[in-house]
Amino acid sequence: MERACININELINVFSNNQGTIYQSDKLNCFYIDFGGKFARFNCLALQKLKNAVESIDIEALLLNTHKADFELVTFNGCEHIYLLSALEIIALKDLLQGTFTMFKLNHMISDCLHRLVY
Amino acid sequence: MKDLMRIKCLISEEIETLLNQQIKKEAHSSSLYLSMSSWCDQNGFDFSADYFLKQSEEERIHQLKLFKYVLDMGGNAISPEVSNIKTDFAGFREVFEDALEAEIAITQSFKNIAAKCHKEQDFVTMEFLNWFLKEQREEEYKARRALELFDVIGEEGTGRWEIDKHVNKITYSEQ
């Protein structure tokens, strides 16, 4: 639904892995996560919260617990989206988010060098 | 590509995490001092009870100062959960030994954040931390001086009563 309203050419691919992609919209100052067949919009704070939520999942415990299905609901308070993910998908989403935040840091360094620092 | 995360927040994720941990430590210290105040009051050390009550309030102010800074910089300040506060002490001296140990831990924690700020070249947070680093000089001095009174005055006879009377008078001056 959300994908239909967005011109994909206006989005910047921040980071991709073989399971999904995270885009940034400079026009709307937000991010889009294309993952697990879902295309969802997040603002800065929500993206950080999602990353924290995914990183706090104990994947080892999830796999070793025989009384529970190997699925986990990923969401947080105030989040408009909800993900039901398997252990492998959690690993992939974690990788996607960590890669994205590394790209943010890289972009920050480049922005500093090119635009902010005057030598 | 816009640097959206930096536009939103001045401090890095790592510094934000460290500052939130420090908020929790300050809250823990505040509760610990309150617990010490309670113990002192119940055991007849009224001046020390007042001293620890004031210390507790100071720690709370430190906590709020950090809290406000994280929010003002665009970060997510987390209201901490405080648990495992020691409520019983073996004796009057142990209360002050624990107080000094708590202050040393706080100083060490600030040094770690300062080291991270230097590494990241976050001089804005570093400048903010300078106030706390200076404050720790006073905090440690007062805790160390209080403990010193146990050796100078001695605990025998009316010693503890004398120590209690002097604890509240400890002040720190740079000059």
For residue B92, count other CB atoms closer than 10 A to its CB.
20
* Model pLDDT for residues B121-152, shown as the tens digit of each residue: 999 999 999 999 999 999 999 999 999 999 99
Question: What pLDDT was estimated at residue A70?
Answer: 78
In Å, what is the CA distance from A71 to each residue of A54, A76, A77, A86, A88?
13, 16, 19, 4, 9
Is B13 in the A-facing interface, judged by CB distances under 8 Å? yes
pLDDT tier for residue A31 given thresholds of 50, 70 and 90? very high
Nearest-neighbour CA in chain B from A86: distance (Å): 27
Give backbone dihedrals phi and psi of A98, rounded to 5 degrees, phi first. Answer: -65, -40
**Per-residue model confidence (pLDDT) at position A2:** 64
Provide the phi-psi class of B15: left if phi over 0, else alpha when psi is between -120 and 50, else beta: alpha
- Per cent of chain A over pLDDT 90 is 54
What integer pLDDT is reported at residue A5 of this predicted model? 72
Q: Give the mean pLDDT of B48-76.
A: 96
For chain B, percent of residues with pLDDT exceeding 90: 87
Whole-number average pLDDT of chain B:
95
| CB contacts, 8 Å: A45 with chain B | 8, 76
- Write phi, then psi, for A38 (nearest 5 degrees): -120, 135
B2 touches A at CB < 8 Å: yes
Task: Work out the minimum CA distance from A66 to partner chain B, whole angstroms.
Answer: 31
Question: What's the pLDDT score for residue B77?
Answer: 94
Report the residue of chain A nearest B8, measured CA to CA. A44
CA distance B44 to chain A (A): 47
Interface test with B, best of A56, A110, A111 (most B CBs within 10 A): A111
Domain map of chain B by residue range? 4-167
Residue bearing the bigger pLDDT, A113 or A97: A97
Which pLDDT band, with edges at 50, 70 and 90, does A11 fall under?
very high
Q: Does A59 score more than 80 pLDDT? A: yes
Domain spans, chain A: 3-116
What HEC string does A15-71 produce?
EEECCEEEEEECCCCEEEEEECCEEEEECHHHHHHHHHHHHCCCHHHHHHCCCCCCE
> Could you tell me if A76 lies within 8 Å of chain B, comparing CB atoms?
no
The confidence score (pLDDT) of residue B126 equals 97
pLDDT at A69: 78
Burial B111-132 (b: 16+ CB within 10 A, else e): eebbebbeeeebeebbebbeeb
Measured distance CA(A39)–CA(A47) in Å, rounded: 14
Q: Which CATH class is domain B4-167?
A: mainly alpha
CB contact (8 A) between residue B4 and residue A104: yes
pLDDT digits (tens, 9 = 90+) for A60-98: 888 888 887 778 888 877 778 888 999 999 999 999 999
Please give the Cα distance from B132 to B120 (Å, whole number). 19
Residue pair A30/A66 in contact by the 8 Å Cβ criterion: no
Q: What is the pLDDT of residue A118?
A: 63
Say which residue the tokens 């804005």 belong to: B124
Q: What is the pLDDT of residue B174?
A: 81
- Contact between B106 and B133 (Cβ < 8 Å): no
Determine the pLDDT at residue A4.
67
CB B100 within 8 A of CB B173: no
How confident is the model at residue A55, as a pLDDT?
94
Predicted TM-score (pTM) of this structure: 0.83
